[in-house]
Chain A
Amino acid sequence: MTKVSMTVNGQPVSGEVEGRTLLSTFLRDTLGLTGTHVGCDTGQCGACTIHVDGASVKSCNMLALEAEGAQVATIEGMSNADGSLGRIQQAFQDHHGLQCGFCTPGMVMAAAALLAEIPKPSEAEIRRYLSGNLCRCTGYHNIVKAILAASGQDVGAEYAA
């Protein structure tokens, strides 16, 4: 076992891990941050997407030890300081961009990385960017819409009560 230290959602954390321990396992099992989900074992579903030093990464594709000293952000750190939903989270709720919620943390993290890179993406850019994140529930329609809305683009007000 080796000690690993990093900053997660602004908090310094550390723990003992095996060389083979994945970053996703460290987050879930050692830190109890179970918002990061594991949907596959081949690095292809994106449910485990987080940010490491500002970049979008699949935390099942990285060893915990590789994140030594890194700045890590997970879904648990995406809300506003007062606990209310952040901009992207709120757009997902407003536009029904989630159903079972299992892909959702990864989708939100991927969307945040996309909007940091391209502040006003087109629908095609969103779809291309999300091709590493699988959702089995939504048919992607409302996820795309939520991200368009979160970027401040007009998607109509279909569900405004």
Chain B
Amino acid sequence: MPADGGIGAPNKRREDVRFLTGKGRYTDDINVSGQAYVWFLRSNVAHGRINSVDTAAAQAMPGVIRVFTGADFEAVGGIPCGWQVTDRHGEPMQEPAHPVLAQGKVRHVGDPIAAVVAETVEQARDAAEAIEADIDELPAVVDMKAALEPGAPKVHDDLTGNLCYDWGFVEENREAVAKAFDAAAHVTTLELKNNRLIANAMEPRVAIGEYNSATGDHTLYTTSQNPHVIRLLMGAFVLGIPEHKLRVVAPDVGGGFGSKIFHYAEEAFCTFAAKEVNRPVKWTATRSEAFITDAHGRDHVTKIELALDADNNFTALRTETYANMGAYLSTFAPSVPTWLHGTLMAGNYRTPLIYVNVKAVFTNTVPVDAYRGAGRPEATFQLERVIDKAARELGVDPIALRRQNFITEFPYATPVAVEYDTGDYVATMDKLEEIADLAGFEARRAESAANGKLRGLGVNCYIEACGIAPSHLVGQLGARAGLYESATVRVNATGGLVVMTGSHSHGQGHETAFPQVVAEMIGIDPNMVEIVHGDTANTPMGMGTYGSRSLAVGGSAIVRATEKIINKAKKIAAHLMEASEGDIELRDGQFSVAGTDKSVAWGDVTLAAYVPHNYPLEEIEPGLEETAFYDPNNFTFPAGAYACEVEVDPDTGKVTIERFAAADDFGNIVNPMIVDGQVHGGLGQGIGQALLEQAVYDEDGQLITGSYMDYAMPRADDVPSYVVDHSCATPCTHNPLGVKGCGEAGAIGSPPAVVNAVVDALQRAGKDVTHIDMPLSPSRVWQAMNP
């Protein structure tokens, strides 16, 4: 462990001090002088035709500044979708309009119908209740398969049915996969659901729009993971504001998990309304509003089939998935069940032939988009469940079956279009067996049995594609954006540095980890490095934080910019020491001339850069500030193996997690403390998905689980302490830090471990149970045990 606080040191987080003393500055903590407040009138029906919206009474209420309806937004654009998927037949997906405020129809509970801007939030809310919206309720579609039936109610009248796209991957392999199934010695089939989730970052979304009528400048403060993306989407596609007149600020953000990637209508509303009423306009979501407006996650229904030969080698894999899009296409929704899901279906295994079919469906529910892991948890869950089922059908050890089929040589080109650069799945499985003490399982099982409890063990692997991603590749796949990251490194005259990054921290600890990288490269104290992020006015155009990309892509941009700084600083040092540039070495913040005792300090060089009296002005400019944009040439592929031990109460069906161990390969580690925390958090969410969480709609499209009373969030006494290890590191081969990303692993790898463990417990107890859909509530488990 380095003592200098550089790469590999568990430095304590500097951002903690403000968060622990109540001095964080979250968006709702910001109040702009003269601000008014908006309250949205939202649809309480899932599907309806808007006949009229009478705002006269509301407009006359005390404190009301203006009431807006969909008609006010006819001249601006709709909320755009950032990814176009091409279907099996080469046709573009169906892409419906998504107005800022509903026009003509409402399509999910929570769809905004009108908005009141008033002096106080109470006045806005009171007036919203006085709006008379005459809406004819229409039959709603909630179930995906029902939505595709002929004659089903159409979510969008101008589209052909409710199918967004029918995607095949790799379409050319369809026939070959079918043949492999015909030739298989054994086929295991599993039908399952990946339950619909709600991200529930603890900070509800907030937006504040501000307009300066003297300069024509707009500012939006928003709870976002990617302020530049919001600026581009909202400016260019919705409101027609050029970037130089639009500043987007995402200050301290209280968690995101994907749900704060997307451009939401409320952001566009506040920005638009601030100019219309010439007052800053603030919106703070209530939690109840968050449940019906934040993009939901997952919600796949899948049939997966695995073909094996007589020696238990995997020979082919075939899946058919229905993926819920909700009522509109959220920013990256189409990419989640396709490119973030189909490309991961090889998992950690040599399966030569794979065919993935995904039908994305519109329903009268909240839009569904990326949630921690985004597509990769869905891929991992079905694959690791079907392998477990196959092992049980064949009577072989599930770990041995996995080991037998592991990919062991790298680079490895999968049949689903990605190339794993590096990995060691045997090593992570060996490590898992050790840290999970699998050898001691039988003894623990006997002890549980003595206490009347059924103990089970679930083990699985996962792989994910992180560090999204090479721009030229995602462009071919339909992304309407590049996916590089940026950094500007500004060195001050007295030697301190400011790093302006396009990535965004909303819990990941960038302010602590990024300086470790710079400090390591220059050989200085990380406290000399400050990180600036979250404001388009003072950071270079960047794509933000999601897909575990901050360090792999954003960190690499910082490395590139710092390299440019060091190269220039060496030129200055060479001049100061009258030596040749090629002989200059930088170590521990000192520049020296190789083979001599001449040296100058970092601070001497930085001062010379800004006070260039003795300086090679004919060769280089004064100053020391560099920008780099880093575009990766591949995804990174973190992978690992997880083990879960559960106890099932045979009388109630209640499942408790007794032990959970995670062995991950994240490549190189910059701050192991932060990495542990990321894994813990992912595990908490994955266990939540497996045991507790589910967004439930009734057949009329009412969200039954619309508050913390009904949506079961994991609480401290629902989860165990975790054993985590990331010592099996195969560094990424194509980014300068050798890092892979760790933010999503826990959420991807843990749900199958939990379900495998519960099925194991029940089968050991002689129950004929092969699968239970998540969440594994006591009633579901009890019913599975007592059919």
Binding site for B on A (CB under 8 A): 18, 20, 28-29, 33-42, 44-45, 47, 74-76, 78-79, 85, 89, 92-94, 96, 98-105, 108, 123-124, 126-128, 130-131, 133-145, 158-159, 161
Q: Are A139 and B202 in contact, with the CB atoms below 8 A? A: no
Question: In the assembled complex, which residues on chain B have CB atoms less than 8 Å from the CB atom of A40?
Answer: 287, 707-708
Question: In the assembled complex, which residues on chain B have CB atoms less than 8 Å from the CB atom of A127?
Answer: 716-717
* Bound complex: CA A105 to CA B257 (Å): 20
Q: Are B719 and A45 in contact, with the CB atoms below 8 A? A: no
Q: Are B507 and A100 in contact, with the CB atoms below 8 A? A: yes
Min distance, Cβ B659 to any Cβ of chain A, angstroms: 13
Question: In the assembled complex, which residues on chain A have CB atoms less than 8 Å from the CB atom of B11?
Answer: 161
Question: In the assembled complex, which residues on chain B have CB atoms less than 8 Å from the CB atom of A142?
Answer: 676-677, 680
B495 contacts chain A at the CB level, 8 A cutoff: no
Interface code B20-47, partner A: CB below 8 Å = 1, 0 otherwise? Answer: 1111111011010000000000000000
B444 contacts chain A at the CB level, 8 A cutoff: no
* Bound complex: CA A102 to CA B252 (Å): 9
Contact of A131 among B23, B687, B715 (CB under 8 A): B715
Q: Are A96 and B202 in contact, with the CB atoms below 8 A? A: no
- Show 12 A/B contacts (Cβ-Cβ < 8 Å), sorted by A: A34-B22, A34-B24, A98-B20, A99-B509, A100-B202, A100-B252, A101-B19, A105-B19, A136-B684, A141-B684, A142-B677, A159-B673
Q: Besides A34-B22, A137-B507, 7 other CB < 8 A contacts?
A: A35-B21, A100-B254, A101-B15, A141-B684, A144-B721, A145-B721, A159-B12
Q: Are A130 and B254 in contact, with the CB atoms below 8 A? A: no
* Bound complex: CA A142 to CA B716 (Å): 11
Most buried by A among B3, B200, B203, B252: B203
Q: Are B13 and A93 in contact, with the CB atoms below 8 A? A: yes
Most buried by B among A28, A136, A161: A136
Q: Are B202 and A136 in contact, with the CB atoms below 8 A? A: yes
Contact of A35 among B9, B23, B254, B286 (CB under 8 A): B23
Min distance, Cβ A13 to any Cβ of chain B, angstroms: 15
Q: Are B709 and A42 in contact, with the CB atoms below 8 A? A: yes
Question: In the assembled complex, which residues on chain A have CB atoms less than 8 Å from the CB atom of B676?
Answer: 96, 142
Min distance, Cβ A113 to any Cβ of chain B, angstroms: 15
Q: Are A79 and B21 in contact, with the CB atoms below 8 A? A: yes
Q: Are A93 and B203 in contact, with the CB atoms below 8 A? A: no
Question: In the assembled complex, which residues on chain B have CB atoms less than 8 Å from the CB atom of A42?
Answer: 287-288, 707-709
Most buried by B among A93, A99, A126: A99
Interface of B is mostly: loop
B118 contacts chain A at the CB level, 8 A cutoff: no
Binding site for A on B (CB under 8 A): 1, 3, 5, 9-13, 15-26, 28-29, 31, 122, 199-204, 252-255, 257, 286-288, 506-509, 672-674, 676-677, 680-685, 687, 707-709, 713-717, 719, 721-722, 746
* Bound complex: CA A49 to CA B577 (Å): 60
The 10 closest A-B pairs by CB, nearest first: A35-B22, A101-B19, A139-B684, A102-B254, A100-B507, A99-B507, A139-B680, A40-B287, A75-B22, A44-B708
Q: Are A100 and B201 in contact, with the CB atoms below 8 A? A: yes
* Bound complex: CA A42 to CA B290 (Å): 13
Q: Are A92 and B16 in contact, with the CB atoms below 8 A? A: yes
Given A41-B286, A47-B202, A144-B716, is A101 in contact with B680 using a C-beta cutoff of 8 Å? no
* Bound complex: CA A78 to CA B9 (Å): 29
Q: Are A139 and B21 in contact, with the CB atoms below 8 A? A: no
Question: In the assembled complex, which residues on chain B have CB atoms less than 8 Å from the CB atom of A44?
Answer: 707-709
Most buried by B among A34, A41, A102, A137: A137
- The residue in chain A whose Cβ has the minimal distance to the Cβ of B715 is A131
- The residue in chain B whose Cβ has the minimal distance to the Cβ of A43 is B708
Q: Are B684 and A138 in contact, with the CB atoms below 8 A? A: yes
Question: In the assembled complex, which residues on chain B have CB atoms less than 8 Å from the CB atom of A134?
Answer: 202, 708, 713, 715
Q: Are A137 and B12 in contact, with the CB atoms below 8 A? A: no
Min distance, Cβ A83 to any Cβ of chain B, angstroms: 9
* Bound complex: CA A29 to CA B122 (Å): 13
- The residue in chain A whose Cβ has the minimal distance to the Cβ of B14 is A93
